[in-house]
Amino acid sequence: MLVVMHPSATPDQIERVVQTIEEMGYDARPMPGGQRTTVGLVGNDGRVDGSRIEALPGVAEIIHVSKPYKQVSREWHAENTLVTIAPGVVFGGSAVHVIAGPCSVESEVQIVSAARAVKAAGATALRGGAFKPRSSPYAFQGLGKPGLQLLAQARKETGLAIITEALDEEGAHLVAEVADCIQVGARNMQNYSLLRAVGRMKKPVLLKRGMAATITDLLLSAEYILAEGNDQVILCERGIRSFDQTARNLFDLTAIPIVQRLSHLPIIADPSHGTGLRDKVTPMARAAIAAGADGLMVEVHPNPDRALSDGAQSLYPDQFASLVGELRTIATAIGRSVGAPQASRGGTAAVRGG
Ligand code: PEP
Ligand code: MN
């Protein structure tokens, strides 16, 4: 529920609303705006009787948020939320940022050369897992902590922002020491203790859609993070399981405009896991930008044939460079641009598609 105060409401009147909400057993989130203050009521699982609050002095209106997720919804917050992972790397504005890099961090030579290649092509952030969630316990599990150090080194050499996955709360603290953005992967989208833990951290989070998750499930998982006080959340469509086996996943592009209508959070697309097939990554990356995605995450490996994970869906660096060139044309056609770190600094509050 949202309590909209009169533009002339006094600080005392706002405080009284806050106290009343707390007396009713809920949490109050005052949100001062340009014209007036709104006080959000959180902690309810169902409709709250607003009659006690409606009668208080200074209250203009009560709005009941109809969706099961509250703080994530556009009803709660109409404007796009901008998520800044590093200076000039802002998701949710007019610039579309491209995150690229290998599935896993494998060695110094591999990650640094991948970082140099994706930077030269136009990416603004480097991806690469140090902690890998693998379907088989016998598959390469990532380098762990040394992998994080290699990512830090790649950032030092290229200036790229770093996005890497955490598998559990302990790993999230380690990842947060190095990364600019913590990735919560598809397999962990409903790991609620991990969601709460990253919600308490002061780091942006990339939350990937679970492979059997509905859009409502994804938004409810994001709500766990916002409920803990962290609104710096980027959502990611990465494909869902389907009955069709020709591609690794069913890449749900419709989710992009749907999420943009339902939520103020930015949403990016991962056509690498979305398709699982190298030659399908480029067409679906183009389509995702055309559909209005606020960014892309693409797997790129200096030598995909030797990759320790996801080589079959990883682009060669020259393929990635061609793709970014095409994305610039598509972004321009829909009134956006492909973000470069400096060009987008401070100026990304423009309207996006959807
Ligand atoms: C990844 O990004 O390498 C990854 C494991 O992705 P997902 O969680 O979407 O499967
Ligand atoms: Mn991967």
Strand order across the beta sheet in which 59-63 lies: 27-32, 37-42, 2-5, 59-63
Q: Looking at the CA of residue 103, tell me the nearest atom of ligand 1.
A: 3
Question: pLDDT value at position 54?
Answer: 95
Q: Are 181 and 206 in contact (CB under 8 A)?
A: yes
Residue 346: left if φ>0, alpha if ψ -120 to 50, beta else—which one? left
Q: What is the pLDDT along the chain (354 residues), one digit of tens a residue?
A: 999 999 999 999 999 999 999 999 999 999 998 899 999 999 888 889 999 999 999 999 999 998 999 999 999 999 999 999 999 999 999 999 999 999 999 999 999 999 999 999 999 999 999 999 999 999 999 999 999 999 999 999 999 999 999 999 999 999 999 999 999 999 999 999 999 999 999 999 999 999 999 999 999 999 999 999 999 999 999 999 999 999 999 999 999 999 999 999 999 999 999 999 999 999 999 999 999 999 999 999 999 999 999 999 999 999 999 999 999 999 999 999 999 965 433 333 344 544
Environment of ion ligand 2 (residues, CB < 5 A)? 103, 310
SS (H, E, C) the chain: CEEEECCCCCHHHHHHHHHHHHHCCCEEEEEECCCCEEEEEECCCCCCCCHHHHCCCCEEEEECCCCCCCCCECCCCCCCCCEEEECCEEECCCEEEEEEECCECCCHHHHHHHHHHHHHHCCCEEECECCCCCCCCCCCCCCCHHHHHHHHHHHHHHCCEEEEECCCHHHHHHHHHHCCEEEECHHHCCCHHHHHHHHHCCCCEEEECCCCCCHHHHHHHHHHHHHCCCCCEEEEECCECCCCCCCCCECCCCHHHHHHHHECCCEEECHHHHHCCHHHHHHHHHHHHHCCCCEEEEEECCCHHHCCCCHHHCECHHHHHHHHHHHHHHHHHCCCEECCCCCCCCCCCCCCCC
| Predicted local distance difference test score (pLDDT) of residue 350 | 40
Angstrom distance (rounded) from CA 258 to CA 274: 17
Asked whether 209 lines ligand 1 (CB < 6 A), one says no
| Token pair of 239 as six digits | 């494909």
Name the residue of 106, 163, 183 to mutate for ligand 1: max ligand atoms within 8 A of Cβ: 183
Q: Is the dihedral of CA 249, 92, 223, 194 positive or negative?
A: positive
- What does the pLDDT read at residue 44? 86
Top mutation candidate among 236, 270, 297, 301 for ligand 1, by most atoms within 8 Å of CB: 270
Tokens of 103: 């599935």
Contact 273, 283 (CB under 8 A): no
- Which amino acid, residue 140? F
Identify the nearest ligand to the CA of 281 by its number: 2
State the Cα–Cα distance between residues 297 and 126, nearest whole angstrom: 9
Looking at residue 227, its amino acid is: A
Q: What's the confidence (pLDDT) of residue 342?
A: 56
Are 154 and 136 contacting, i.e. CB atoms less than 8 angstroms apart?
no
Quick one: tokens of 224? 């766990």
CB distance 352 to ligand 1 below 6 Å: no
CA atoms within 13 A on the CB side of 347: 9
The C-alpha atoms of residue 127 and residue 144 are separated, in whole angstroms, by 15
- Confidence (pLDDT) at 319: 98
Q: What is the pLDDT of residue 354?
A: 42
Mutation pick for ligand 1 pocket among 207, 238, 249, 299 (CB with most ligand atoms within 8 Å): 238
Confidence (pLDDT) at 341: 67
Nearest residue (by CA) to ligand 1, atom 9, is 186
238 within ligand 1 shell (Cβ under 6 A) = yes
Residue 70 beta carbon below 6 angstroms from any ligand 1 atom: no
